[in-house]
């Protein structure tokens, strides 16, 4: 299979070249988890790169090959062990998604393996991983919807998910539906199951905003590849899934960003003025100098509150607001690790951290979440534009669209004739 290229990666390269800042390229690519994709794009289509940058691209690709050579057999072994134990598992992100989207398991940066399972299979899956030499890291439960398993002897990490977001962010995920609509990827001499194209499109959009104001371009690059392979039937399914899961606005936002960066594709969900404003915020977040403070508590609070704006359903917005007390008071994974290291209870560790949490929140600058002034790192047809008002017109190759004043109407695309969806409450 021919290795796919990425216009998102090409935009990063063009942005650095235009500024004469080639030295910023790979630090920026690493920050967005796009080092392998950028290195491939650089080798495939740029002859003007300095020799030192071209050499760095080759080193990046060599490291990516080495990492994939380690991860692929481990992923295959873990998935097979889970299958024997009667636990269906879907690989998300990582080398399987890289092979599906780019035709090469090396390109998409991965440090660990992410598997999605049904909540009811958690105990069986944990026992299976323990038999393989993995140990669960300290758990806080609470709002977490994943468990980290570490194999210290062999240096692997498996994140076992039963949802891709925490309990503070609404996203009804029915694993049975994902499993029924899965697709197989040829990898490591066998096959690995991953979510279907329509589901991957919705999940990638959610991953894009999952940790806002921290935004990783790797998910936008994933959406670019998915947009190239999506069919009309897939688009109808994307609209249905987005409607059922309350992510229509997020999906429209993801495709709006693709359009702004010159990737002309059909959108499964119509956007509106609110989506355009959110796209402005994400573009600013891509250049946010405060990204280095991602792990501080104000970032997690900003992430939670942002999902009030990202959701179109009133019930989901209220659920986000209702989760605030639990978010502030329940122990999290940092508390669990500290409690395990100090031999204290979870609640004792949490109480000890409350002054630290309060100090961090008070120390955050009032404008830290929105006061971004630096330009987008991507150079594309729409990246240098800044909208002065809600009625501004954005021109893309082959199209011109003006933001509508009303909210988007429900998707009325016909359901595909086969593969009908069934949604659980």
Question: Is residue 90 within 8 Å of residue 52, measured between CB atoms?
Answer: no
Q: So what's the pLDDT on residue 325? A: 82
Q: So what's the pLDDT on residue 34? A: 93
245 vs 240: CA distance, rounded Å = 9
Query: Residue 21: CA atoms inside 13 Å, Cβ hemisphere, count?
Result: 13
User: Does residue 414 belong to any structural domain of this protein?
Assistant: no
Q: So what's the pLDDT on residue 139? A: 67
381 vs 259: CA distance, rounded Å = 9
User: Does residue 416 belong to any structural domain of this protein?
Assistant: no
262 closest CA partner among 8, 46, 1: 8
Q: So what's the pLDDT on residue 380? A: 56
144 vs 353, more confident: 144
**pLDDT band, very low/low/confident/very high, at 365 (cuts 50, 70, 90):** very low
User: Does residue 67 belong to any structural domain of this protein?
Assistant: yes
User: Does residue 196 belong to any structural domain of this protein?
Assistant: yes
User: Does residue 1 belong to any structural domain of this protein?
Assistant: no
User: Does residue 237 belong to any structural domain of this protein?
Assistant: yes
Cβ neighbours of 46 (radius 10 Å): 15
383 closest CA partner among 214, 213, 258: 258
Q: Could you tell me the residue range of the domain that residue 75 belongs to?
A: 63-382
Question: Is residue 244 within 8 Å of residue 423, measured between CB atoms?
Answer: yes
User: What is the token pair recorded at 411?
Assistant: 């998707």
In this predicted model, what pLDDT tens digit does every residue of 48-77 receive, in sequence order? 889 999 999 999 999 999 999 999 999 999
Instruction: Tell me the average pLDDT across 330-338.
Output: 76
231 vs 132, more confident: 132
**pLDDT band, very low/low/confident/very high, at 297 (cuts 50, 70, 90):** low
204 closest CA partner among 242, 168, 170: 242
User: Does residue 18 belong to any structural domain of this protein?
Assistant: no
| Total number of domains constituting the chain | 1
User: What is the token pair recorded at 349?
Assistant: 């560790």
Question: Is residue 278 within 8 Å of residue 345, measured between CB atoms?
Answer: no
Kindly calculate the radius of gyration of the chain based on its CA atoms and give it in whole angstroms: 21
Average pLDDT score over the chain: 81
User: Does residue 203 belong to any structural domain of this protein?
Assistant: yes
> Which CATH number belongs to the domain containing residue 148 in this structure?
3.30.460.40
């Amino acid at each position: 299979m021919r290795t796919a290229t990425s216009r998102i990666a090409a935009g990063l390269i063009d942005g650095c070249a235009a500024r004469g800042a080639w030295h910023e390229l790979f630090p920026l690519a690493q920050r967005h988890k796009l080092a392998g994709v950028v290195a491939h794009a650089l080798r495939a289509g740029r002859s003007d790169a300095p020799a030192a940058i071209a050499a760095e691209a080759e080193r990046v690709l060599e490291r990516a090959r080495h990492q994939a050579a380690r991860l692929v057999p481990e992923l295959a072994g873990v998935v097979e062990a889970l299958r024997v134990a009667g636990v269906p598992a879907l690989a998300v992100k990582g080398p399987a998604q890289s092979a599906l989207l780019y035709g090469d398991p090396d390109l998409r940066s991965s440090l660990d393996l992410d598997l999605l399972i049904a909540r009811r299979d958690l105990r069986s899956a944990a026992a299976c991983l323990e038999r393989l030499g993995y140990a669960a890291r300290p758990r806080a439960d609470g709002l977490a919807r994943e468990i980290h398993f570490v194999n210290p002897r062999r240096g692997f990490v498996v994140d076992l998910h039963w949802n891709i977001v925490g309990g503070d962010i609404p996203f009804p995920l029915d694993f049975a539906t994902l499993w029924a609509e899965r697709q197989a990827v040829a990898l490591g001499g066998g096959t690995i199951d991953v979510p279907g194209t329509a589901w991957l499109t919705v999940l990638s959009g959610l991953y894009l905003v999952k940790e806002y104001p921290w935004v990783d371009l790797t998910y936008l690059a994933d959406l670019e590849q998915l947009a190239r392979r999506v069919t009309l039937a897939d688009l109808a399914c994307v609209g249905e899934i987005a409607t059922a899961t309350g992510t229509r606005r997020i999906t429209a936002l993801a495709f709006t960003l693709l359009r702004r960066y010159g990737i002309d594709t059909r959108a499964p969900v119509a956007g509106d003025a609110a989506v355009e404003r959110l796209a402005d915020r994400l573009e600013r977040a891509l250049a946010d100098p405060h990204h280095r403070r991602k792990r501080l508590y104000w970032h997690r609070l900003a992430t939670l509150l942002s999902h009030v704006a990202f959701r179109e359903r009133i019930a989901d917005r209220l659920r986000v607001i209702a989760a605030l007390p639990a978010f502030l008071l329940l122990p999290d994974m940092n508390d669990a690790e500290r409690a395990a290291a100090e031999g204290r209870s979870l609640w004792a560790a949490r109480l000890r951290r409350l002054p630290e949490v309060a100090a961090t929140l008070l120390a955050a600058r009032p404008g830290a979440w929105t006061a971004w002034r630096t330009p987008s790192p991507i150079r594309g047809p729409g990246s240098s534009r800044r909208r002065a008002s809600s009625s501004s017109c954005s021109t893309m190759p082959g199209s011109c669209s003006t933001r509508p004043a009303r909210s988007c109407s429900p998707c009325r695309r016909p359901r595909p004739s086969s593969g009908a969806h069934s949604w659980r409450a």
